[in-house]
Amino acid sequence: MRKDPCRQSETFRMTGEELNDRLDGQMLAIERVSILLEDAKLDTNDLLEMDREGFEKLMELLSAYEAFLDHFRDVTKDTVAAIRGLTTARDRMCCGVGDDEDFNDVDIDEDAGDDF
């Protein structure tokens, strides 16, 4: 008899509203950062005159920030996929066994292969 892969020593509960509130807070933090970028923008009629060193530094800063944004996008995609996996994995793994049922009372054929 195998142990229930869904049963753990502790159960952590979070409502969908709590998760959404946390994600909303993170989205607001991202919006606040975008407001900071507004401060760097110039009027379209402004002429930006720089020496070579200043121009190279500006290009370096912009390139580094673009690389950060690419990394941030990738991490965000991975995080979203992980959240979706974590919030739906219990239902898939437990095959419909409810919280109030005792999984240890269910016989599992060891020779049937690993379906979990």
The pLDDT tens digits of the residues spanning 78-87 come to: 999 999 998 8
Provide the pLDDT for residue 91: 55
Cα of 17 vs its chain's centroid, Å: 17
Q: Is 41 helix (H, G, I), strand (E, B) or coil?
A: coil
Confidence of residue 21 (pLDDT cuts 50, 70, 90): very high
CA distance 22 to 28: 10
- The answer to whether the beta carbons of residues 4 and 94 sit under 8 Å apart is yes
Instruction: Provide the token pair at 48.
Output: 């930006």
pTM comes to 0.59
Instruction: Provide the token pair at 3.
Output: 């142990």
CA distance 106 to 1: 8
Instruction: Provide the token pair at 65.
Output: 């920030």
Q: Quick one: which of 88, 81, 76, 77 has its CA closest to 16?
A: 88
Distances in whole angstroms, Cα of residue 39 to Cα of each of 32, 34, 57, 100: 12, 9, 18, 56
The pLDDT tens digits of the residues spanning 95-110 come to: 544 454 444 444 444 4
